[in-house]
Structure 1
Amino acid sequence: MMVVPLGNINPVKPVNGKDGNVATRTSISTQIAIIGGGPAGLLLSHLLRRSGIENVVLELRDREYTIERVRAGVLEQDAVNLLTDAGLGDRLHHEGQRHDGIYLQYNGSRHHVSFRELVGRSVWVYGQQEVVRDLIDAHDEAGTPARYSVSDIELDNVADGPATVRFTQDGEEFELTADFVAGADGAHGVCRPSIPAAEKTTYQREYPFGWLGILAHVQPSTDELIYALHERGFAMHSMRSDTVSRLYLQVDPHDDITNWSDDRIWDELDLRLGTMGWTLERGEIFDKSITPMRSFVSDPMRFGNLFLVGDSAHIVPPTGAKGLNLAIADASYLHDGMVAWYRNGDASGLDEYSPRSVKRVWQIQHFSAWMTRMLHRFEDSTDAENPENPDYDYQVQLGQLSQLCESPRGMSHLAEIYTGLPFLSHPH
């Protein structure tokens, strides 16, 4: 396997420092500069390296934060296939849990949606931090680790390239020259703001609720994920392993987590997830937080030689379990375009990256918004013309769920999108 260096180090050159004095900045060159060392950036780097394309990954956070950050935990079928084909499947298949369906719960009754029977596909429960850990291990083994704890990242000349990325690491200033920049630095990074406002359109929606999520040392009380609509709000039972459960409650996004004692959380989960003859097992809660929910899209996902990847371009509410999978799809698409360009001088994949990715993003935005609207209580559910009937929308949701669960075609549609739209084929 070809080992690609971190970047060609050139002699230092004088630059004007921030204080006006002359300083030195180490010059580095590479083919692809990747801003962001999360799953999107690390996966793109890994795929490019395996295809013989040199790249450098820059990450603002330190290495341990990147590994330990708790995020999504459901991988689509094609995401698992891609990671496996890329040599990242050993722990995933050993420690991850294949799930062949989900449960939808309403009116106190639980209904199984069998992915295997409906569409012949599955999903895997495997936390994002585990994917990141696998990627970091692969980079360490190849001798191509990311540059962590960098600061003061600035992009220049991304419109027509070669692009310049200036940054500081361990007090030393660097200037990285690259053919292209992949912006995988998330919703609050520097890459998306580097696209002029006149060159992009952003779409967003803030939801009037958040998710209170917990991790608990307790064996899961279910074999597959439970999505529950209750009069008091949404609840979900997921898991991370045979001994760690992941559960969620719909709450006010501005609520203070200190208002939620462990007993209060378990009591509310018991109420919303409860069904006759079923017991929710309790255990030690070792992590809890409240996360606001929103949808966001920035279009296009390319400006000149800068390409946006993952959360830097789009965010979905977690109801459909799509955020990590969208990032993996982006990395796969962009990798394919880069390979075609460097091997054959074919720019069509790069030209098609944004329209193809944005099309997929909006399809997933629809699915995530549909799942969110169907399974959450909204504050504006009161009928303005008939305020004495405040639960009209809730009854509509119950009707929607009963119609869905009684329709094999309806459940097949849910299963098709939940297990994942197909990825593009990619060379190995």
Structure 2
Amino acid sequence: MHVPVQGLVSLGEDGDCHPASGSQPLLDPSDRESQQLLTLQLVAVLSERLGPTVLSNTVQLMEFVGAVLQRVCADLTGRDMDTVETETLSVALGLIAAMLGGGVQFAQADYEAMEVLLAPLEQISVAHRDPSTQQLAAELRITIATHGAITRPSHIAAGSRHGTRGHHGSELDMTSTKFNNLQECGPGEGTVPEPRPLTPSTHMVDHTQSGNPPNNFHQVLQAACDPEVPTRVAALRTLTQTIKHRSQEALNHWEQLLTVFLDNLGHEDSFVYLTAIQGLEVLSDSAPDHMLLHLLREYQSTSLREQTAGSVDRRMKMGEVLMRVTRALGAVAPHYRDPLIQAFLIGSRDADSTMRASSLSNLGELCQRLHFALGPVIHEVVACLSAIVKTEQEAEVRRAAVHVVTLLLRGLSEKALQGGVWQCFNVELAAPGLD
């Protein structure tokens, strides 16, 4: 059979692609977009011909998907995505969903290789304009981060259909049947090795309806992503209590727990995100070295994303988590002084004024928790506060900076005068807008 793709390539009997006659070396933008759409149609035809074998090489798929996601992330803060870019992103997300849904047998090393997709998926889940794409990217990220311990078959199935059926009717439904079958599989029937994706069982449904989490650890993890708020909160509290009791299973899966709590941190319901904050606090107490570094990285990385109301709210919640962890550390807190101060100083230069004020408030409390033993960092802190009071346009932020200065002067007391630190406070406290 000969399948021509006009103006681009043709697929011959031998299965090879040959240049089609009439190809033009120079194309205007409209012709270039048409050629790109034809390329996608060619991919659709090849996928239908090759069938499931197209998913056999995980490394090549990851390289393709990673390149697509990186390109999408580069365009998120710029112009709107055109039709071709949107179509390509749909195909990439559909491929990820297909692999996670049983299209490929996964080993532990495959999950580790897919972790390079976590950062772009998270950025898409926060900054993409399409809510359904945001949700799909978030669900895929959770599944990858937990190595398949948490998944939502219905969402992934929807994602596979979304990713393989473009806006122009390209049919790539070779994997949708595999996805739909996941909803019917019981535990242990999937093709993915341990840890296997969990599918809701009758036991889970009964607990969901009653608002209580199940007892099995992995089922509780699953319930922590339940759409029903009572079930989700109950599961998060159960996980928190499990960590408090130093359950070995919970400690062995602290990375999965971290992912679950961070995911719930962005929930709009106050019961959910406050419970997630408590869980992060308890989890940090069990492994402060690992957890604090992860939380600081999360706090600082989010400041680089597109400025949205949701991202600012999430970062402020992360600041609250860091402060709770600092309080829980007690006498050990000075050991983490420098990275904590650095994180809040970076936040004080954020583009959002609310975030700047929040970071300064956290900085002031941190100085109190450290008993003002700031060491050589004191000069950097004072220089930052001085610049904010002199140049900041928002009165709320200037007030926050002056409040930190007041706390430092009270805490340092005579040491501030004797050590020459007072000269660093030569700031214009009478700047307009402070009354």
Larger Rg: 2
Q: Which has the higher helix share?
A: 2
Q: Specify which structure has the bigger relative contact order, considering alpha-carbon pairs within 8 angstroms and separated by 6 or more residues.
A: 1
Do they superpose with TM above 0.5?
no
Q: Which has the higher strand share?
A: 1
Q: TM-score range by the shorter chain?
A: under 0.3
